[in-house]
């Protein structure tokens, strides 16, 4: 059928992406449900009164500061990573290099460049918000707070960076190339990326715009470099510096942090309950970043 397959008798990219995400959604619910059931049974067997504290249980399962929450985040990430690899290798008979997952031994410099740029980019956002007094730094730069959760959350953000970039940029953009319309892969994959955050706390119109622009930024880098490692590196440190270094909300999610900030008045500047990604400072930074990529990053750049 032409609805399912194109003129080349290849399954249309939209069906591929939708099928992958539907299977991911179902598998995540099943695996997460089994984990939650087992954990709850073990918890209640040790402390029969635990079920009375509904707030604590909900917090444990939704926060990356607690063991069950950490496990649920990792289940989601690892499931999507495995499905992307399986769909690409078995469904499309493709090589991992084709979706940008080049040999890390050869591409480690690109990963390092991404890590550096992501860290610097969000540091600029944080400093603007602090200096403009849109937020207040509570513990000061000379009084950092360190904890073991910072390492655990770094691991989570590594998996988040890999799974979101591998799916949205690596898989979606590559299969969307069969449409043969040059702007489709980057725009559609960016829309998919922004919609994936629809269930996040504090989501807003500005947040959707910024998520879309972040997708455009990563997609443009992917097109220019043919490697996903810069995107992964950028994504990891952008999230980590946002949450664990400066103490902002990461797309509505709370983390432990080295520094703490307090939002004086939620606004379109600081992003309110979604965090800086829901504010216009990030909007301007991403627009400038896209321009710089266009102007200065050579196509198929090697580092």
Structure tokens at 16: 């591929």
Structure tokens at 101: 């997952």
Percent of all residues in the chain with a pLDDT value above 70, rounded to a whole number: 94
Residue 77 has pLDDT above 70, yes or no: yes
- What is the model's pTM? 0.93
pLDDT digits (tens, 9 = 90+) for 172-212: 999 998 887 889 999 999 999 999 999 998 999 999 999 99
Q: Whole-angstrom Cα distance, residue 17 to residue 59?
A: 32
pLDDT at position 42, please? 84
pLDDT at position 62, please? 77
pLDDT digits (tens, 9 = 90+) for 265-288: 999 999 999 999 999 999 999 999
């Amino acid at each position: 059928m032409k609805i399912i397959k194109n003129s080349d008798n290849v399954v249309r990219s939209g069906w591929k992406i939708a099928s992958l995400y539907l299977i991911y959604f179902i598998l995540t619910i099943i695996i997460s449900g089994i984990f939650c059931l087992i954990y709850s049974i073990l918890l209640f067997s040790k402390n029969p009164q635990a079920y009375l504290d509904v707030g604590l249980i909900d917090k444990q399962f939704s926060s990356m500061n607690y063991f069950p929450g950490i496990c649920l985040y990792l289940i989601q990430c690892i499931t999507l990573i495995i499905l992307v690899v399986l769909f690409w290798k078995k469904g499309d008979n493709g090589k991992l290099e084709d979706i940008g997952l080049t040999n890390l031994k050869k591409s480690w410099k690109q990963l390092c460049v991404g890590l550096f740029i992501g860290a610097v980019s969000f540091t600029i956002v944080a400093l603007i918000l602090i200096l403009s007094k849109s937020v207040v730094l509570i513990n000061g730069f000379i009084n950092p707070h360190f904890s073991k959760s910072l390492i655990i959350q770094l691991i989570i953000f590594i998996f988040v960076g890999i799974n979101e970039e591998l799916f949205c940029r690596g898989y979606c953009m590559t299969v969307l190339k069969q449409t043969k319309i040059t702007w489709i892969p980057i725009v559609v994959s960016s829309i998919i990326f922004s919609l994936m955050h629809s269930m996040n706390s504090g989501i807003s119109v500005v947040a959707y715009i910024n998520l879309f622009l972040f997708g455009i930024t990563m997609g443009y880098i992917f097109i220019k470099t043919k490697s996903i490692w810069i995107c992964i590196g950028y994504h990891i440190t952008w999230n980590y510096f946002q949450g664990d270094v400066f103490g902002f909300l990461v797309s509505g999610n709370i983390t432990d942090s080295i520094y703490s900030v307090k939002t004086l008045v939620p606004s379109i500047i600081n992003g309110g309950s979604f965090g800086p990604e829901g504010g216009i400072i990030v909007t301007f930074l991403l627009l400038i970043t896209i321009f710089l990529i266009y102007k200065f990053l050579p196509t198929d750049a090697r580092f």
